[in-house]
């Protein structure tokens, strides 16, 4: 599996399965590898941010710039590891951990009012004013038992995500 894309061996597939906690079966790993090779246009063994932006669904995501910080330069194993949070078999904790990383842009292990406000701004763009966003977020936090001065930790995201109906799943097409 080295630097340049090549054929996956059974050992490679099993290694990738272990890395992603067996959330993808062998067929799905092979399909993901084919997609990885398509995205890795220069066959360097990793996907650049420009190559990620060539995926329309990714480019259209209002959080694309935040996600790019997480995915730029991923090799195949880490690419599958990143995608494993989107597996239907992923636990609430795995999904919440990914969402937490999206919000915790400075990586300090805490999500503040301003962190959430930045994400909300990315998601709403010019459809809401800063004042409207702040008012909505303040009310939402109050309803959840938090204040503007509170900060959220990963466990808070697990609790919030466990109590929501949010689906964060991607189906891997198998040839």
Write out the two tokens for 3: 């630097």
**Dihedral (CA of 123, 85, 6, 35) sign:** negative
**What is d(CA 80, CA 30) in angstroms, rounded to the nearest whole number?**
11
Is residue 3 very low, low, confident or very high in pLDDT (cuts 50, 70, 90)? very low
Say yes or no to pLDDT of 118 above 70.
Answer: yes
74 vs 162 pLDDT, higher one: 74
CATH topology assigned to domain 92-162:
Recoverin; domain 1 (1.10.238)
Q: Provide the terminal-to-terminal Cα distance of the chain, rounded to the nearest Å.
A: 21
Write out the two tokens for 133: 């966003």
Q: Which pTM was predicted?
A: 0.80
Q: For the chain, give the percent of residues with pLDDT over 90.
A: 53
Closest CA to 16 of 82, 89, 90: 82
Mean pLDDT value across residues 22-26: 93
For 73-86, the pLDDT digits (tens) are 999 999 999 999 88
**Dihedral (CA of 125, 131, 132, 136) sign:** positive
Closest CA to 13 of 79, 77, 71: 77
CB environment 120-148: b (16+ within 10 A), e (fewer): beeeeeeeeeeeebbeebeeebeeeebee
Mean pLDDT value across residues 104-119: 91
What are the CA-CA distances from residue 14 to residues 17, 21, 46, 75 (Å)? 5, 10, 19, 16
Is residue 26 very low, low, confident or very high in pLDDT (cuts 50, 70, 90)? very high
Q: Do 10-86 and 92-162 have matching folds?
A: yes
**Which H/E stretch holds residue 16?**
helix 10-19
Structural domain spans, the chain = 10-86, 92-162
Say yes or no to pLDDT of 174 above 80.
Answer: no
In CATH terms, 10-86 corresponds, of 3.40.50.12780, 3.30.1390.10, 1.10.238.10, 3.40.50.150, to 1.10.238.10
Is residue 6 very low, low, confident or very high in pLDDT (cuts 50, 70, 90)? low
The number of beta carbons lying within 10 Å of the beta carbon of residue 7 is 7
């Amino acid at each position: 599996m080295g630097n340049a894309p090549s054929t996956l061996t059974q050992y490679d597939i099993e290694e990738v399965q272990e890395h992603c906690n067996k959330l993808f079966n062998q067929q799905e790993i092979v399909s993901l590898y084919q997609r990885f090779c398509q995205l890795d246009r220069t066959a360097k063994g990793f996907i650049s941010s420009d190559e990620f932006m060539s995926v329309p669904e990714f480019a259209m995501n209002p959080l694309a710039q935040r996600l790019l910080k997480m995915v730029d330069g991923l090799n195949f194993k880490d690419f599958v590891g990143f995608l494993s949070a989107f597996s239907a078999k992923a636990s609430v904790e795995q999904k919440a951990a990914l969402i937490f990383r999206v919000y915790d842009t400075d990586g300090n292990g805490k999500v503040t009012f301003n962190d959430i406000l930045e994400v909300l701004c990315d998601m709403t763009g010019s459809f809401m004013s800063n004042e409207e966003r702040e008012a909505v977020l303040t009310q939402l936090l109050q309803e959840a038992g938090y204040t503007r001065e509170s900060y959220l930790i990963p466990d808070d995201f697990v609790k919030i995500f466990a109590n929501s109906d949010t689906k964060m799943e991607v189906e891997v097409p198998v040839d």
